Amino acid sequence: MATIRKIGVLTSGGDAPGMNAAIRAVVRTALYHNLEVVGIRNGYQGLIEGDLFQMQSTDVSGILQRGGTILKTSRCPAFTTADGRAIAHRLILNSGIDGLVLLGGDGTFRGAGVFFDEYHIPAAGVPCTIDKDLIGTDTSIGFDTAVNTAVEAIDKIKDTAEAHNRIFVIEVMGRDAGYIALNSGLACGAEDILIPEAEERMDDVICNIDFNGRRHKNVHLIVVAEGNELGGGKAVLDSIKKQLPERDVRLCILGHIQRGGSPSQADRVLASRLGYGAVMALINGNTQVMAGMVNGNIVYTPFSQVVKGTTLIPEDMLAMMKALTG
């Protein structure tokens, strides 16, 4: 493998709190090892459009605590085409970039795998997704902040629910993974938690509400992952209203507030370690891998394994969810 002298760094897919901390770590680690760093704006779209700029240490000063990403992000359909990737490859050759550091999720790493198979551009990844659903890491950048944002919001909703004896359906993010719903629901004492990984029946939810009502427990919090099999928060709300028309039921969709905000201490440190780890992978000739955190240590997992599936919620946590809700 050729010596790495200049790396490009981009953020792709959905944003996650801590991306800026990871960018900072990538830039400063590279400069410490006398590498040039090129920032690529708007993800893979920037590779196609040539939206590049030379990065110095001062470019990442004061960004550790900021949410979002200073490099901007996007989803790029053009990069899924052979023509789009060919344009990106020409840009990389013309700019002298020897390797890429990619901050994103499975879609980002899947694109990198295809790109490497065609053009053999070395790349290392950093797991940035609030869903915490990537193989090869115990957690991902943004998850801790997103869960704490959800917990803070649900605690406040619980206050007003108690004031009015209301049922609240609270939808959190998670199209394919229920980690945010599970962890925030457990932390806030939700009476029902509905996630894609666990089979749920609306009849069971109704029975739970009815049982609690008969024992004069009129406040009922239902935390719903947007991708749960019952259809998300609105579908759950409609079913409850139809079957329990006498109950006061409200819906709150937390939405994109879970993506924003200043990253937590845990996400800042995780992002710093994994950004550093990704650069070191390229320096050491370890390419087409994602830097992850397993048992407190940085490990490297090939992109081909990362994109094969998602992490599974441990059975004991699913059992605990059943035991503690209600």
Catalytic residue numbers read 131
Cα(212)–Cα(326) distance, integer angstroms: 8
* Number of Cα atoms under 13 Å in the Cβ half of residue 131: 23
Decide the pairing of beta strands 6-11 and 167-172.
unpaired
Q: What stretch of H or E contains 268?
A: helix 265-283
Cα(150)–Cα(136) distance, integer angstroms: 25
Six-digit token string for 25: 């770590």
Six-digit token string for 72: 């901007």
Cα(194)–Cα(318) distance, integer angstroms: 11
Q: What are phi and psi of 33, to 5 degrees?
A: -95, 20
Cα(266)–Cα(18) distance, integer angstroms: 9
Q: 3-state class of 123 per DSSP? A: strand
Going 187 to 270 to 301 to 46, the CA torsion angle's sign is positive
Selection from 109, 117, 149 nearest residue 133 by Cα: 109
**Strand boundaries in the chain, DSSP class E:** 6-11, 36-40, 52-54, 99-104, 123-127, 167-172, 192-194, 220-225, 249-253, 289-294, 297-302
CB atoms within 10 A of CB 314: 9
Q: What are phi and psi of 100, to 5 degrees?
A: -125, 145
